[in-house]
Structure 1
Amino acid sequence: MSMMIYLSGSAARSAGTRSADSDKRVEARSAFIPHRKRLIQHAVGCSAMVHSPPMIARTLAYSALWLMVALSALAPAAAVAADGLHLVLTPSQKPTDLLATGEEFAKVLTKLTDIPVRVTVASDYAAVIEALRNRTADLAFVHPVGYVLASREAKAMIVVRNLWHGKSSFTSRIYVRKESGLKSLEELRGRAMAFIDPASSSGYTYPMVLLIQRGLVKNRDPKTFFREVVFAGSHDAGMRALLNGHVDALASFDMAREQYLKDPAERERIVYIAESPEIPEAGIAARAGLDPAIFAKVREALLQIRAPVYAGLLLRLYEIDGFAPADDRDYDPVRAAVELLGVRPR
């Protein structure tokens, strides 16, 4: 399965650019320090000079103004890059198709915010978190566990929550082929199991919690129960692997069968034997340090992207209906699952 690895080249270029920019800022600051000292000395000296009260007030005011301008040269870099915002997509489907739709989505967001938005597809779920952590991404589509990890590791903040099939939550299911005759989780002992990604909510974290709570998986290691464990990388690839007999079972979200198997005959061949509790939908997260005004503008724009105007675009993107307001506290149950499983970014 092919994945677009955006970090391999672009991250290196971004890192080089940041390094060069940092060197320039250091040189500028070093050259400026003596000048800043003179300004400060000038401000102090002016206060000691004998003038009439109005003259003293004006002199101090001008000195303070120049001092503020001078010190502003040492302020941190702008909260948004000159080329606008960078939105990273989670690779839950074929990357080439996702990128094309993502670019269309970026154009809509650009139009609504009047801020240029460019888009890339991450190589895997962990790369999304890393992009938010190292600030090569300003915004990212995240799944629930991905958001919890990004919040913990990168101080990311949720912007909006997905509306999906009219809901703001979903479940994880463990699927098998109907012809296999498998009816329960216990019957999967010694079988081949496909998960999606170690950081996937429905494709790893929640099904693993279910298996641990049933006493089937020991020491958080799925190989204590399954003969073989593979990570498909995307939900559609996992569903195909199950359908084609490469694995005996698959962990994925509750609508994966309907979303990826359009042929009714194929869909009939897949059933599920276990289901998790409800999982809150995630959506789009922003990196730490994003300008609050830009954060608010992006959130306002995203809440406008919904059916019927954008129904086709949202369907092709992640088969969602739109976005709803979100709060970090919504994900406390996901945090509990993450802690139980001991999930860490790779």
Structure 2
Amino acid sequence: MAMHLNRRTVLRLAGASAISLASPLAAQNDRLRLAFIPQENPEKLLGDIEAIAGWLSSEIGLPVEGFVTIDHAAAVEALRNGDADISFMGALPFVLAEAEIGAVPLLSEVYRDAPSYTGRIYVRRDSGIRSLADLRGRDIAFADPISESGYLYPLAEFVQAGLIEAPGTAEAFFGRIFFAGGYQQAMQAMAEGLVDAAGASQYADLLLTPQQQAEVKWIAESAPIPSHLVIARPGLDADVQDRFIDAMLKLNAPDNREKLRYLYGPDGYVRADPAAYDGVRDIARRYGLLE
């Protein structure tokens, strides 16, 4: 059963549980700890983290360690508790973390040459589902309860269509609502027939096999969403922040671009503009996630 959310609930949903590459102990000045969210298979992500952490260590001159949290909420808690210094995160959990703990935006992703993307509702082509209204009484999987493209923005399409009044009333429309833990998990549940639909990023179908990609389609698309970003806990040493940002921007150089595949595969990074996330702050207030 889905849970009605408010700001404090979503930031405490999962505690600070993590699948660790390096156990997330209290942050220290002699190392940098990075928290990653499981947008894709966590086991694959662990290998990616090991590769990029080694490169970042050599560039920054500081040991870099990474771990995979179970979801966005756990990443925020890791920053809050000092178990992580920096986290890769979606726009919605960032604005919540900004309001709750004073999280600092460092970098924004560029993907397909755009600083934004969308959320979509996906179904199987053979399902007979052609519109959002056809999902009444059906089961749906979302990525994460504080994901913008994997929950709030796709769900807003049902509000725009007049099918539900707000996220807290969604249970009356759907059969069951599941939070799968990531884009890939939600898409697999839909592709394998475990649920009737999935709410995920516009690029989430690329996480399926080529055969599965041919078997699914999207029936609704959200308004543009500012891209994912990299954020820091408040109080992180300014020199360490600068060295990290400089290293990450080096990934835009042709000789380093192949390493971007270890970081969810963006086209590159730019310095974050806090004002770019005003629209996300607005929708979070509209749905009661921000005061």
Structure 1 runs of 4+ off > 4 angstroms?
none
User: If the length of structure 1 is used for normalisation, what is the TM-score?
Assistant: 0.74
Distance 1:165 1:327 in 2: 19
In the alignment, which residue of structure 2 is the partner of 1:294?
A: 240
Distance 1:241 1:182 in 2: 16
Select 2:174's aligned residue among 226, 237, 247: 226
In the alignment, which residue of structure 1 is the partner of 2:28?
A: 81
Distance 2:209 2:174 in 1: 29
In the alignment, which residue of structure 2 is the partner of 1:184?
A: 131
Distance 2:19 2:56 in 1: 21
Q: 1:213-251: per-residue Cα shift (whole Å, max 9, x none)? A: 322123423212101111111111111111111111110
Distance 1:343 1:96 in 2: 31
Distance 1:102 1:94 in 2: 12
Distance 1:89 1:282 in 2: 12
2:254 is paired with a residue whose SS is coil
The amino acid of 1:124's aligned partner reads D
Please, which moves more after superposition, 217-226 or 245-254?
217-226
Distance 1:307 1:342 in 2: 41
Distance 1:281 1:132 in 2: 20
The amino acid of 1:134's aligned partner reads N
- Structure 1 segment 223-302 matched on structure 2, within 5 A: 223-257=171-205, 259-263=206-210, 265-302=211-248
Distance 1:260 1:330 in 2: 27
Whether 2:72 is the aligned partner of 1:125: answer yes
In the alignment, which residue of structure 2 is the partner of 1:334?
A: 280
Is the CA contact 2:40–2:207 (under 8 Å) kept in the aligned structure 1? no
Whether 2:15 is the aligned partner of 1:5: answer no
In the alignment, which residue of structure 2 is the partner of 1:74?
A: none
- Structure 1 segment 18-97 matched on structure 2, within 5 A: 81-97=28-44
Q: Alpha-carbon deviation of 1:307?
A: 5.1
In the alignment, which residue of structure 1 is the partner of 2:251?
A: 305
Whether 2:279 is the aligned partner of 1:323: answer no
The amino acid of 1:122's aligned partner reads T
Distance 1:217 1:129 in 2: 29
Please, which moves more after superposition, 135-144 or 213-222?
213-222
The amino acid of 2:195's aligned partner reads V
Select 2:105's aligned residue among 136, 158, 168: 158
User: If the length of structure 2 is used for normalisation, what is the TM-score?
Assistant: 0.88
Distance 2:54 2:252 in 1: 15
Distance 2:109 2:185 in 1: 23
The amino acid of 2:51's aligned partner reads E
1:242 is paired with a residue whose SS is helix
Distance 1:330 1:273 in 2: 27
Identity of aligned residues (%): 36
Distance 1:225 1:339 in 2: 23
Evaluate the alpha carbon distance shift between residue 317 and residue 296 of structure 1 in structure 2; reply closer, same or farther with a 3 A threshold: closer
Q: 1:167-198: per-residue Cα shift (whole Å, max 9, x none)? A: 22100000111111211111111111111110
1:197 is paired with a residue whose SS is coil
Is the CA contact 2:49–2:262 (under 8 Å) kept in the aligned structure 1? no
Q: 1:279-299: per-residue Cα shift (whole Å, max 9, x none)? A: 011221011011222222211
Is the CA contact 2:23–2:67 (under 8 Å) kept in the aligned structure 1? no
Q: Alpha-carbon deviation of 1:318?
A: 0.3
Q: Alpha-carbon deviation of 1:10?
A: 4.4
User: RMSD value over aligned CA atoms?
Assistant: 1.9
Please, which moves more after superposition, 197-206 or 219-228?
219-228
The amino acid of 1:186's aligned partner reads A
In the alignment, which residue of structure 2 is the partner of 1:106?
A: 53
Is the CA contact 1:208–1:341 (under 8 Å) kept in the aligned structure 2? no
1:210 is paired with a residue whose SS is helix
Is the CA contact 1:174–1:250 (under 8 Å) kept in the aligned structure 2? yes
Please, which moves more after superposition, 188-197 or 310-319?
310-319
User: Greater relative contact order (Cα 8 A, min sep 6): structure 1 or 2?
Assistant: 2
Distance 2:167 2:137 in 1: 16
Is the CA contact 1:315–1:321 (under 8 Å) kept in the aligned structure 2? no
The amino acid of 2:236's aligned partner reads L
